[in-house]
Structure 1
Amino acid sequence: MSDDQKQQSITTTEEHINRWCALPNPYPEPRVVRPNHFYAMLLLEDYAGVVSEMTAINQYLYHYLTFEDKYQDIAQLEECISIIEMYHLELLAETIKLLGVNPEYRTLTNNQVVYWNASYVYYGQSICDRLAADIAAEKTAIQTYRLHQQLIDDPYIKELLERIIMDEQHHLQLFISYGQKYCPGIK
């Protein structure tokens, strides 16, 4: 894909993510100082680990499908956030490729390739346990992104992770506010 095509794709994608559950701040273009296998392995955790963008997309989409008949407002929130998480997935994939690794849905655990699977999704039984799981996932994602920011010495990647963290913090607040509406005491 040419640079012009990539920019057009990013612009088109950013137009699609201009949603109420996203912050209006622009996203930095995926860039890296140089290829780095270690950094790519860290980002693969954010991309397709147990707590990752891939898991968030599928978990929030599942919750959307289970809420849409009874809790339309929460269903819309879950759907909206899952779309933003898809954009994060795309940004991470582009960065992983620039780092010199194919963005497969996998991680490296104890020197073994572990592919993403649907058992990472928290399916839940009730509105409150699903929202609590969504809140926990956002909190863990923020912590993991912060750790990776500390471990990665590349200003472009740090900037991208900071922008993703901003969205995750916003999502956390949205999930908490809906959780408090339906499940008093949820944090």
Structure 2
Amino acid sequence: MNSCEEYLVDLPYPSVLVREINVCYATLISGAFGGPGSESTAIAQYIAHNFYTHDYPEINFAYRCIASVELTHLNLLGNLIRDLGMPPKFLTYETNCYWTGKNPAYAYKIRPILLSDIKGEHDAIAHYTRLIHQIDSPDIQRLFKRIILDEQKHIEILTKFLASMGSECH
């Protein structure tokens, strides 16, 4: 198991052609980039949790891979925010609140780790679904739908890990 390919959906990310600056859209997307439930938070949370998965080599590897997929999402969003006319910053433009290390859900035992990360993926899907309804751009909507596929795959993987733990889950 050397490749992270199984931790993302085997479909390309759709390109987004930004036809004009749209600060409103960039502002909305900033929450997914640098807000409390953002890709930035997901990356930090997976990395923090990975320190406590060494007794579970398959989960440890998966967490590094999933963090890498989340970084891909972060890069896609950052480029989109820039193309829409705003600098990608680790903040939510809607509230002008910067990202903080208080955003990740910190857990130290395998069961709470898996549960908090499954919740984070569900929250991300809900956020992207809201953005799809708020942003009237088929290109951007397609990108968010593609990202959602990865998040759903992560839920599937994490749920399998949780189920495989059985009674040994602490």
Q: Same fold (TM over 0.5)?
A: yes
2:119 corresponding residue in structure 1 = 136
Shift of 1:32: 2.1
Cα RMSD, aligned residues only: 1.7
Separation of aligned partners in 1, 2:126 and 2:71: 19
Task: Give CA deviations for 1:105-163 in whole Å, capped at 9, x if unaligned.
Answer: 00135xx4111011111111311011000000000100110010000001111111011
Q: 1:96, 1:121 → 2: CA distance?
A: 22
Provide the rounded CA distance (Å) in 1 between the counterparts of 2:57 and 2:103. Answer: 25
Cα deviation code 1:6-50 (max 9, x no counterpart): xxxxxxxxxxx9622111101112432321111111111111111
Q: Counterparts of 1:28 and 1:81 in 2: how far apart (Å)?
A: 20
Task: Indicate yes or no: 2:13 matched with 1:27.
Answer: yes
| 1:87 to 2:72 alignment | yes
Please name the residue that 1:115 is paired with: 98
- Whether the 8 Å CA contact 1:30–1:91 is kept in 2: the answer is no
One-letter identity of the residue aligned with 1:131: L
Q: Does 1 or 2 have the higher relative contact order (CA < 8 Å, sep 6+)? A: 2
Secondary structure of the equivalent of 1:23? coil
Alignment partner, residue 151 of structure 1: 134
Decide whether the 8 Å contact of 1:46 with 1:53 is kept in 2.
yes
Q: For 1:125 and 1:97, how far apart are their aligned partners in 2?
A: 36
> Which consecutive unaligned segments of at least 5 residues does structure 1 have?
1-16
- Cα 1:85–1:58, aligned 2, differ >3 Å: closer, same or farther? same
**Residue 71 of structure 1, CA deviation:** 1.1
User: Are 2:37 and 1:51 aligned?
Assistant: yes
2:80 is matched by which residue type in structure 1? T
1:80-124: CA deviations, max 9, x gaps? 100000000000001001110000000135xx4111011111111
The sequence identity of aligned pairs, in percent, is 33
Question: Partners in 1 of 2:139 and 2:88 — Cα distance?
Answer: 18
2:152 to 163, 169, 181: 169
Give a deviation string over 1:37-86, Cα, whole Å, max 9, x none: 11111111111111110000111011112212x11111111111000000
Distance of 1:170 and 1:183 partners within structure 2: 21
**For structure 2, which runs of at least 5 residues remain unmatched after alignment?**
none
The TM-score with structure 1 as length reference comes to 0.84
Contact preservation (8 Å) 1:37, 1:101:
yes
Q: Note if contact 2:4-2:65 (Cα within 8 Å) is conserved in structure 1.
A: no
Aligned partner letter, 1:124:
A
TM-score by length of 2: 0.92
Q: Distance in 2 between matches of 1:133 and 1:183?
A: 17
